[in-house]
Structure 1
Amino acid sequence: MTTKDPRAVRLARLAALLADETRSACLLALLDGRAWTAGELARHAGVAPSTLSEHLGRLVGGGLLAEERQGRHRYVRLADARVAQLVEDLAAQAGPGGGETRPRSLREAGAGSAMARGRTCYDHLAGRLGIAVTDALTERGLLRQDTGFALTDAGVGWFGSAGIALDRTSRRPLARACLDWTERRPHLAGVAGAALCRHALDAGWCVRIGSARAVQVTAAGERALSGLLGIGPTALR
């Protein structure tokens, strides 16, 4: 009798959790790094609250989501950065591709364009904005990509001089490559990516637009990124 590989069993259970369009829609929405209420996710996924509640229960039970309650409200978020990486990596493998459906409205097309231009990927910058920042860091010798992503000594110093604090006590890697699902190239993630994204939002370099993960670079952000990394305004629009 052949003994089952426990890893195969766990992998099959994980795949079953992801093999549902409603649950996948929830996981993709939660890549914005924020906690959502069950009602918000139900409206986003286009299903009844009772249906969504069952799906959330499976995702929480499977360890992909963490749950918080405040009064009558139930909030959920991605369990951790590893789950975010898994979802983003799978999204990158899944598309866009030649069979991608066309936008059904101007509003949908505009939302897709905004997401491709700049967005948050859990806790770091993605889209053309994320790629522009990653390329600028690499071109200036602040980030290495030849043997995996790694900040150079000059890169660590750059973060300090820019007033962007790096949590060197974190168990997460200081720099990590995350495959961008719209650009099909890696952008900066890890502690450095999260710190840069948080600083960009706190300092007003970027603002969230709409209810999705899309972000827009402000005039202050254009000046800051031009002065710090030499990124021209056209690359940010």
Structure 2
Amino acid sequence: MATTAEPRFARIAALLADPSRARMLALLLAGEARSAGELARAVGITPQTASTHLAALRDAGLVAQRTQGRHRYFSLADGDVAHMLETLSLVAERDEVSTRWRRPDRQPLKHARSCYCHLAGELGVQLRDALLARQVLVANERGEFSLGRGAGAWLQAAHFDDAAIQRTQRDTVRPRFAYACMDWSERREHLAGALPKALLSQFIATGWLQRVGTTRALVETPAGIRHLLPLIRA
């Protein structure tokens, strides 16, 4: 009997349904690799249980594993997985969005956070708006974004030199250079891809943004208030 091809997401959905696996993936959304032991402690499970969960996530292509000495480090497999998790978060909380993000414990994440190594939250949306308004990025024929005529001056002001731009363009196969990603808290689009990832790395390296403890939240430093905010706010 003929069957109709359908998306094969049942296995992925079953993996995400486990609270411990879901929490580990949420921790990895920060974009930093973590050891199996760190993930076990953060989630509150034994190392053996964590290893079992991580093996299942790795086999499903949701996480990547790197071994260094006696330690195993895990990260999200790629930007597609990060995009899926951010979108699931958006859908799961859409009925509570008006109240959830007013909670004090959510305010740092709402203001600015890392989403698989690119900037999200209020600052992430403002960054997208600024890059498009100032023609640093322009839409291309694929519905993604390429550098526009305003790129040179803006990127120079962001301390992002020509060599870094060329390296980012040269290395862009996967992830893509720049594309829209629906923001979990803002319900508007921020930017994902190779360029936004490189920009966030630059903002942290220059000391304009810094992480809040071990969370995904980011905060502007005094230097960031002086130099970064004028670049992303009208």
Unpaired runs of 5+ residues, structure 1, are 104-108, 233-237
Which of 148, 166, 176 is the aligned partner of 1:153?
A: 148
Where does residue 31 of structure 2 map in the other structure?
33
1:120 matched to which residue of 2? 114
- 2:61 aligned with 1:71, yes or no? no
What is the DSSP-based 3-state SS (H/G/I as helix, E as strand, rest coil) of the residue aligned with 1:212?
coil
Normalising by structure 1, report the TM-score. 0.83
Q: What secondary structure, in the 3-state scheme, does the structure 1 residue paired with 2:38 have?
A: helix
2:200 to 197, 200, 211: 197
1:93-132 matched pairs, under 5 angstroms? 93-98=91-96, 110-132=104-126
* CA shift for structure 1 position 94: 1.7
Query: 1:192, 1:214 → 2: CA distance?
Result: 20
Q: In the alignment, is the contact (CA less than 8 A) between 2:135 and 2:148 conserved in 1?
A: no
Q: How many corresponding residue pairs? A: 224
Q: CA RMSD in A?
A: 2.6
- Whether contact under 8 Å (2:117, 2:201) holds in the other structure is yes
* Whole-angstrom distance in 1 between the partners of 2:81 and 2:153: 29
Measure how far apart 1:11 and its partner are: 2.4
Instruction: Give 1:141 deviation, angstroms.
Output: 2.9
Question: How far apart, CA to CA, are the structure 2 residues paired with 1:143 and 1:137?
Answer: 6
State the distance in 1 between where 2:100 and 2:180 align. Answer: 29
Structure 1 residue identity aligned to 2:83: Q
The farther-off stretch of 73-82 and 175-184 is 73-82
1:22-63 superposed Cα distances (whole Å, 9 cap, x missing partner): 111111110111111112212222222222221111001111
User: What is the deviation of 1:82?
Assistant: 1.9
Q: Deviations over 1:129-158 (max 9, x none)?
A: 111212222232333469844245224324
- Contact 2:109/2:121 (8 A) holds in 1: yes
Distance verdict in 2 for CA 1:156–1:110, change over 3 Å: same
Superposition deviation, residue 159 in structure 1: 5.1
Q: TM-score, normalised by structure 2?
A: 0.84
How far residue 111 of structure 1 moved from its aligned partner, in angstroms, is: 4.1
Question: Match of 1:35, as an amino acid?
Answer: A
Percent identity of the aligned residues? 42
1:208 maps to what in 2? 211
Q: Deviation per CA, 1:108-127, whole angstroms, max 9, x where unpaired?
A: x5542211111110110011
Shift of 1:101: 9.3
| Structure 1 position 2, deviation (Å) | 3.4
How many angstroms apart in 1 are the aligned matches of 2:57 and 2:13? 12
Structure 2 unaligned spans of 5+: none
